[in-house]
Amino acid sequence: MRIDTYLSEVIGKSRSFCSKIIKKGLVLVNNKTVKPSYNVNLGDEILVKIPQEEKLDLKPANIPLNIIYENQYYLIINKPAGLCVHPAPGNFDNTLVNALLYHFQINDDNDVRPGIVHRLDKDTSGLILVAKNRDVREKMSEMFKEREVDKKYLAICYGNPKWDEILVENSIGRHPVDRKKMAVVENGRYAKTKITVLKRYDNIFLADVKIYTGRTHQIRVHCSYLGCPIIGDKVYGNKLSNKIRFERQALHAYYLAFDCPFTKEKKIFEIDMSEDMKAFLGSLNTNS
């Protein structure tokens, strides 16, 4: 049995919590640090230092939610742009988590991000999956980690690339100068993105984007790296793209598909483009 799974059962904490303290070196096996994937052996001496967990006074907030699908295990929500997924410094009260606590009974009290399986940036709209309890969250988080979920986005990008489709496999890590940003770096984490041009306009194009990994700001970084930043992205845009007015990055998560680990059904969820992106494209002259 993996040590993160073993500790979760023994100390009654979530597997993600156990994985974090293992990575921080707070778990010693036979006086040595190990990885979360280490398999426990008979006779192992395990020493665990449990840090005091961050306690947030999570307050329910009556924020309307657009529920696409609901069953006993999870919800699929169409998150609007401008809504943070979970509380963080500067915004503890007006997030998706606060809305979930108001509208639903999320049995995930041991986590500061109850129900959250994966994330979307604040100004990215679209589909997000939320678990109804800790056990479901852990199982479905593993599904995302093992890349068993198909995720597709619509992006409005600046430029007129020569290619119609491109596969990007450049590693992503912290920007060497601006540590608040991510960048394509040699020693970063492997990231894979496929970008397909759907429609071309004057130095702007609509793209279908499929991600095979889930790195922070992955699509925004890869588009910027190609010289085709997403319209409205003030962090990763360039001088020319930033002259085009759009109130947020034009990125919309429109497709999620996976095999449900509980019912064994193939689940496919697909929604239309957001209204603000539709209106923006409607104002442009098409080239094709």
Q: pLDDT by residue (tens digit) across 115-154?
A: 999 999 999 999 999 999 999 999 999 999 999 999 999 9
Residue 288 has pLDDT above 50, yes or no: no
Amino acid at 79: K
| Catalytic status, residue 4 | no
Nearest to 211 by CA among 147, 269, 165: 147
110 falls in which pLDDT band (50, 70, 90)? Answer: low
Nearest to 81 by CA among 259, 281, 250: 250
Least confident of 7-16, 68-77, 96-105, 116-125: 7-16
For the segment 70-83, the average pLDDT, to the nearest whole number, is 97
Share of the chain above pLDDT 90, in %: 80
Q: Establish whether domains 3-48 and 54-146 are of one fold.
A: no
Residue 111 has pLDDT above 80, yes or no: no
Looking at residue 38, the DSSP 8-state letter turns out to be: P
Both tokens of 258, joined, read 């996976």
pTM: 0.81
One DSSP character per residue, 137-166 reads HHHHHHHHHTT-SEEEEEEEEES--S-SEE
Range list of β-strands (E), the chain: 27-29, 32-33, 46-48, 67-70, 74-79, 125-131, 150-158, 165-168, 172-174, 182-184, 193-200, 204-211, 251-259, 266-270
Longest dimension (CA), the chain: 70
The whole-number pLDDT of residue 180 equals: 84
Cα(241)–Cα(218) distance, rounded to whole angstroms?
Answer: 18
Among 108, 111, 121, 233, which one carries the catalytic annotation? 121
For the segment 257-275, the average pLDDT, to the nearest whole number, is 97
Specify the DSSP element, H or E, that contains 15. Answer: helix 15-23
Q: Mean pLDDT score of the chain, rounded to an integer?
A: 93
284 falls in which pLDDT band (50, 70, 90)? Answer: very high
Cα(128)–Cα(118) distance, rounded to whole angstroms?
Answer: 7
For the segment 169-176, the average pLDDT, to the nearest whole number, is 94
Superfamily of the domain at 54-146: Pseudouridine synthase (3.30.2350.10)
One DSSP character per residue, 221-242 reads HHHHHTT-PBTT-TTT--TTGG
User: What is the architecture, at CATH level 2, of domain 3-48?
Assistant: Roll (3.10)
Domain ranges of the chain: 3-48, 54-146, 151-252
CATH no. for 151-252: 3.30.2350.10
CB 47, CB 11: distance < 8 Å: no
